[in-house]
Every structure is written in structure tokens, then in C-alpha cells.
A and B are shown apart, each in its own frame.
Chain A
Amino acid sequence: MRPEPPRRIADYSPLAFPAVMLTVFFVVPFGIMVMVSFFRRQQGGFYTPDFVLESYARFLSTFFGGVLSFSLGLAACVALICVIVGFPFTYELARAKRWVQVSWLVALLSVLSLSEVIIGFAWSTLLSRTAGISNLLVWLGMMDKPVALTPNFGAVLTGMVYQAFPYTVLVLYPAMARLDPTLMEAARTLGSHPLKAFLTVVVPALRNTIVATFIMVFVFALGSYLLPQLLGRPQHWTLSVLITDQAVYQSNMPFAAAMAVFLVLVTLSLVGLALLVGRKDAAT
């Protein structure tokens, strides 16, 4: 059933449409952004076409270095938690009855339909002192008086994991569903404890899927800019928040573009690094 490999130029024609779309809607805008990042900022005005490095120079400071590392660390935490929770969850889900699977997937898809704004406001209410879950704990007698559970790092993390979790499951699900059940059966027949079999058979078998999922959630979380504002303190603001500030409120497009380019480059190199490590592992 293997399709014929393309031989003539015409065989590549189905690729033309996506290629044009990708060029028009991704490559060109990105190119414009790179271009603007070198323009000269006119304080109190806008910018003039030029080739200067001042926006990049401004970014290279310990302050922005700190914000960048925080953003990367936060995204990595979100991705890690999502994969650690999502992996066993999806494994069980893929083995559950049909109607159980469908109800879970519908629930998760409905979370996807919520905007970041709604998720942010919902969690800030849930974690608030006046209307939040701590009131429930007080009512149950587990706490003396209600407390505010936001804003802090935990609240930001909770909101972002909540938002990214459906993606995690949706990316893991197809691979899980295709996983050969006889692998587990063989391990069990040979006397392995279910947990051990899961960790030593299922996890290594899906290593590439795990890496791919981690990277996807990581990149997704890196772009988050609303939840850190709604659920965090200023020290939890990500680089995306500062990019928005520059672009929308300071109309400093060159600086905003430079920060965005930097973020994209760092992301791409981290993703490349992860893939490279993954390939080396696979080769040995």
C-alpha cells in the first residue's frame, strides 16, 4: 500500500497550495517582523526604515534575560506537568469503553473552545478569597477562613496546565490508540508488575510521541500572555506580556519585533536541540 514516491515536478503539485498559504501567511509576516526589528525607533513617534541593532542591544540585559528564562522555565514546567499527567491519563482513556472515551474527548474539546480570557477569569474567580474554592474548604471545616490563592506562580501554572492539557491528550491519543496491546500482555505474561510494565514498555515505546508532545505544549505555553497577567504577579509576567506592552501600549514596534524574533529563535533552537538529542538516543 505504499504510495509511489513523487518523480516529476507535477507530482509535487498538491503541495503548491499549502506552500503558497504558508508563504503568504507565515513566511512573509515573519519576514516583515524581522525587517521591522532592525528599524530605527523614534521615541514619541513611530519608526523609520533603517538598519540598526539598537532594539536587540536593549534586549541584551540581565533584566530581559531574567524575563526570558522565566518564560522558558514556565513553559517547560507546563509541558512537563501536562505530559506527566496526560500520558497515563491518555493510556487509560485509549483502553476505556467507547462511550467513556467519547465523553472525555467531548469534555476536553469543549475546554479547547474556551478562550484564554474565559479560562483566566474563571480561574481567578475559583482561586479568589471571596468566591473561590477556599470557601468550600471552610464550609467543610478544613480551613478557618477563606484565603486568596491567586495571584502567585501556582495559580499561573494551574491556569496554563488547564489550558494546555486538552492539546496534550489530543496529540498523545492517536499514538496511544495505535499502540499494540500485545506488548503489555507479553510483559504481564512474563510476570512484570503493571506499573513496571507501563514504565519500561509503554513509555519507551512512545518516546518519540512524548518528545513531540512536550515540544508542542512547550511552544504553545510560551505564547501565553493573558494568564500570567490575570493569575500572576508582575514577576510572573512572561516575555509575551512585555512584547504586548511594547507593541500595543508603547507603539515601539522595532523593540517588540526584536523581542519576538529573539523568542522565536530561542524556541527553534531549543526544539532543534531536543530533536537532535532524541535522534542520538534513537541511534544508540
Chain B
Amino acid sequence: MTDNAKTGIGKTAVTRRTVLAGAAVGTALLSMPSIVRAQDKSLKVGVYGGYFQESFDQHIFPDFTAATGIEVQSISEPTGEAWLVQLSQAAKAKQAPADVSMMSQVAMLKGQAIDLWQPLDPAKIPNVKNLLPQFVNKYPDGRIAGIGAVSWYITLVTNTDVYPEAPTSWTALWDPANKDKLGLLALVSNSFLLEVTAKTFFGGANKLDTEDGILEVMQKLAELKPNVRLWYRDEAQFEQALKSGEIPMGQYYHDVTGLAAADGNPVRSTFPKEGGILDSGCWAISSASTKSAEAHVFIDYMSQPKIQATLSRNVGTAPTVARSVTDLTDDEFASVSSDIAPIIPRYDLYQTKSDWLNQKWTELIVAG
């Protein structure tokens, strides 16, 4: 409106009256509550850059703004813990580069240690009742630190040209026939191979309760090293090699593999009988954010079964709510998840024993 008034003044033939009228209309419009709110209500949301951010910008944020009147500015955040470092440094200076961020579980625990997350009020998030229990992240004293945002599976992936038959078990990683054919994630805290080994060979994650148990699991894991061609940090590197058949087997993200297969690439993702690895990200509010009310609205909106189903269909993530409350068809559900009980990572280990684990892990895979 003010723009109109300005161009009005610019015209020579304009009368004082029209200018005044224009200004009056402008003032009236500005004073209407809905417009003031639309300008005030905004939220900076941090999501993993690249594919996630594009998908959210396209499928989620516009609908959210339409439904609630809150403008979303999406912030691209790096994966890994770099974003946690930035958020905590900024919070010390009372700044919030993003009000709400999607954080990994390990980052959630590390943020809890320094009280980085604003406790969430469940009364303002009625849809919290829909969530599966593992998706409510709590401080040790019971305050809610974060709410499950999206979850995704890491599964056993293969190139269909090289492996006409899909493998059925994680034990395929140890099969001597697969020498020099695997691509595995390089870090102890993102590959979750300790959990996989514990579940596959030692009856479950309880084996990881003691350091002796962990070392035993690592010894078992050392046996598959001759099969590993690539320990990757960079996802694109493995994805490319998997598509071409250069590295025909490995662990990778179920959703991205599904998209690659849909594009006609000869790849497949298999849920092994021991279960896929279920990893997830949480929404958490930085302690420096002043937009707590809007952030609660956002988190509540995202926890609706309808929105979780939209995410599954458009982004390929597994729902954070029980399948029964969504309207996902069998096929849609199978493309993002599985009824086989998942391997849930022992995130606690990566916080309490992170340095020890990292040291042992690095020695394990670097040793020739």
C-alpha cells in the first residue's frame, strides 16, 4: 500500500486528495490485525541443506504458512555436528540463527548437556499424543527437549546388476564372497555398525552395555574389513559408485535409494531380517530464540499424522507416528518403512563414551 502511495506522489497530475486517500487506505490496511500478524509472525527453521531443504520448501512450508499465517524462512544447516557448534556459539551471544532446527539424536543429547534446547510445553502441542514414544526426546529430569521431526532408515543396499538376488541379512557384509565390494559409513556415530553387529551376532544391543562387550563387537566387525572398498563420509561418493556397480553393496539411506531406483538406476534397498537401522531427527528450539509460541505451533503442525503422511509420500521419510493413524497405503508404507522391528541406535553411547568409542573405532578401521 505504501508503495502505491509513493508512486502516486511521483505522478504530476496527482491531487493532494488522492495522496491522502491512498495514505488512509494504507494505514487502514496496516492496522488490520491479520496483516500485522503476518508480518510479525515468522519463524526461522533449520533443515538439512540440499534434498531435505528443497523438499520442505516445496511440500511443507507453503502449506504451513497458509494454515497458520506464520512465514517460514528455511535455513540450510550442515549435517554432522557443525550446526550444533554454531547454534551453541550463537546462543552464548543471545542469537538464534534458526528458531527451530532439525537435530540428530546425538546432537540432541550434546545440546541437552549445555541446556541449549528450550523445554517444550506438551500442552501447546496437542498432536504429541500421536507420536511413537521414541520420538519424544526428554531431558534427564523429564522436560521435553525435542519432538521427532522425521525418521529414516539405513538399510542394506545392492546394485541389482551385480546382485540379481537381494541379500536377506546383514551377515552378507561378512561374506568372504563380497571381498572389496562394500561401501560403509566411516564414522562410529553415523554408521551404527556396532548396533548392527550386536543385533546380528550377539543377540541385541545389550552387548554394548560394557566396554568389554563393545570391544568384542569391534573384533567381530574387524572381520569384515577386507570386504570394504570404501569407508565414506560423503554420501554422493557412495551413491554414485553404487549406481554404477563400482561398489555394488553397502549401507545407505532407504529413502534416497528408493528415489534412485525410481529414476531407473539398478539399485535396491533391502530390510535385512535383523531390521533396518532407524535413525531420526528432532525439532528443537534454541534457547536464544524469542519465537517460542510460533515454534510450538510449527512443531504441533508437523506432528499431525496427515503431515507425516505427506512427508512420507513426498520426502520419503518414515512417519514418526504410528502407521495406524496415517492414511498411508501398504505400498506407500513399504516404500519408506518396514514392519520388521528396527535396530534403534544406542545414542547414549555416543554421548557418554564418545571419545573412547571414536578412538577405538578409528584405530579399528585405520589399522592396515
Give the B-binding residues of A (Cβ under 8 A). 41-46, 58, 63, 67, 121, 124, 128-131, 148, 151, 229-230, 233-235, 237, 242, 245-246, 248-253, 255
Q: Which residues of A contact B353 (CB under 8 A)?
A: 43
Confirm or deny: B351 has a beta carbon within 8 angstroms of a beta carbon on chain A: yes
| Most chain B CB inside 10 Å of its own CB: which residue of A151, A246, A248, A249 | A249
Contact A45:B187 (CB < 8 A) given known A130-B246, A245-B362? no
Min CB gap B47→A, angstroms? 19
Min CB gap A123→B, angstroms? 12
Q: Are B246 and A44 in contact (CB under 8 A)?
A: no
Q: Which residues of A contact B366 (CB under 8 A)?
A: 63, 67, 234-235, 237
Known: A43-B355, A234-B231. 4 other contacts (CB 8 A): A41-B355, A43-B351, A43-B354, A46-B114
A-B contact pairs, 9 of them (CB 8 A): A41-B355, A128-B244, A235-B367, A245-B362, A248-B81, A250-B355, A251-B81, A251-B85, A255-B355
In the complex, A254→B113 CA distance in Å?
18
Give the A-binding residues of B (Cβ under 8 A). 80-82, 84-85, 88, 109-110, 113-114, 180, 186-187, 189-190, 229-231, 233-234, 237, 240-241, 244-246, 351-355, 358-359, 362-363, 365-368
Pairs of residues from A and B, 10 with the lowest C-beta to C-beta distance, nearest first: A44-B351, A45-B113, A235-B368, A234-B366, A251-B81, A130-B244, A234-B365, A130-B246, A128-B246, A249-B80
Name the residue on A nearest B357 (C-beta).
A250
Contact A248:B351 (CB < 8 A) given known A44-B110, A130-B244, A151-B229? no
Q: Which residues of A contact B84 (CB under 8 A)?
A: 251
Q: Which residues of A contact B351 (CB under 8 A)?
A: 43-44
Contact A250:B231 (CB < 8 A) given known A234-B365, A235-B367? no
Q: Which residues of B contact A43 (CB under 8 A)?
A: 351-355
Q: Which residues of A contact B229 (CB under 8 A)?
A: 148, 151
Instruction: Point out the residue from A44, A130, A245 that lies within 8 Å of B109, measured CB to CB.
Output: A44
Q: Are A250 and B81 in contact (CB under 8 A)?
A: yes
Instruction: Point out the residue from A233, A249, A253 that lies within 8 Å of B187, measured CB to CB.
Output: A249
Contact A42:B113 (CB < 8 A) given known A245-B187, A248-B80? yes
Contact A250:B88 (CB < 8 A) given known A128-B246, A148-B246, A237-B366? no
Contact A249:B81 (CB < 8 A) given known A63-B363, A229-B233? yes
Contact A249:B245 (CB < 8 A) given known A45-B110, A46-B88, A234-B365? no
Min CB gap B357→A, angstroms? 10
Name the residue on B nearest A42 (C-beta).
B113
In the complex, A251→B82 CA distance in Å?
7
In the complex, A229→B354 CA distance in Å?
22
Min CB gap B48→A, angstroms? 15
Q: Which residues of A contact B362 (CB under 8 A)?
A: 63, 242, 245
Min CB gap B91→A, angstroms? 11
Name the residue on A nearest B230 (C-beta).
A151
Q: Which residues of A contact B187 (CB under 8 A)?
A: 245, 249
In the complex, A201→B26 CA distance in Å?
85
In the complex, A28→B355 CA distance in Å?
28
Q: Which residues of B contact A121 (CB under 8 A)?
A: 237, 240
Q: Which residues of A contact B190 (CB under 8 A)?
A: 249
Q: Are B110 and A251 in contact (CB under 8 A)?
A: yes
Name the residue on A nearest B229 (C-beta).
A151
Min CB gap A118→B, angstroms? 12
Q: Which residues of A contact B244 (CB under 8 A)?
A: 128, 130-131
In the complex, A100→B234 CA distance in Å?
40
Min CB gap A41→B, angstroms? 7
Q: Which residues of B contact A251 (CB under 8 A)?
A: 81, 84-85, 110
Q: Are A249 and B189 in contact (CB under 8 A)?
A: yes
In the complex, A115→B303 CA distance in Å?
41
Instruction: Point out the residue from B114, B240, B367 that lies within 8 Å of A45, measured CB to CB.
Output: B114
Min CB gap A49→B, angstroms? 12
Q: Which residues of A contact B85 (CB under 8 A)?
A: 46, 251, 253
Min CB gap A237→B, angstroms? 6
Q: Which residues of B contact A129 (CB under 8 A)?
A: 246
Min CB gap A40→B, angstroms? 12
Contact A252:B355 (CB < 8 A) given known A229-B233, A235-B367, A245-B187? yes
Q: Which residues of B contact A253 (CB under 8 A)?
A: 85
In the complex, A129→B181 CA distance in Å?
12
Min CB gap A251→B, angstroms? 5
Min CB gap B68→A, angstroms? 34
In the complex, A233→B365 CA distance in Å?
9
Q: Are A124 and B354 in contact (CB under 8 A)?
A: no
Q: Which residues of B contact A237 (CB under 8 A)?
A: 366
Q: Which residues of A contact B359 (CB under 8 A)?
A: 58
Q: Are A248 and B82 in contact (CB under 8 A)?
A: yes
Q: Which residues of A contact B114 (CB under 8 A)?
A: 45-46
Q: Which residues of A contact B234 (CB under 8 A)?
A: 229-230
Min CB gap A71→B, angstroms? 12
Q: Which residues of B contact A246 (CB under 8 A)?
A: 358
In the complex, A122→B85 CA distance in Å?
32
In the complex, A129→B244 CA distance in Å?
10
Min CB gap B187→A, angstroms? 6
In the complex, A248→B84 CA distance in Å?
10
In the complex, A246→B80 CA distance in Å?
11
Q: Which residues of A contact B368 (CB under 8 A)?
A: 235
Q: Which residues of A contact B363 (CB under 8 A)?
A: 63
Min CB gap A274→B, angstroms? 29
Min CB gap A93→B, angstroms? 35
Min CB gap A5→B, angstroms? 47
In the complex, A131→B245 CA distance in Å?
10
In the complex, A253→B351 CA distance in Å?
16
Min CB gap A229→B, angstroms? 7
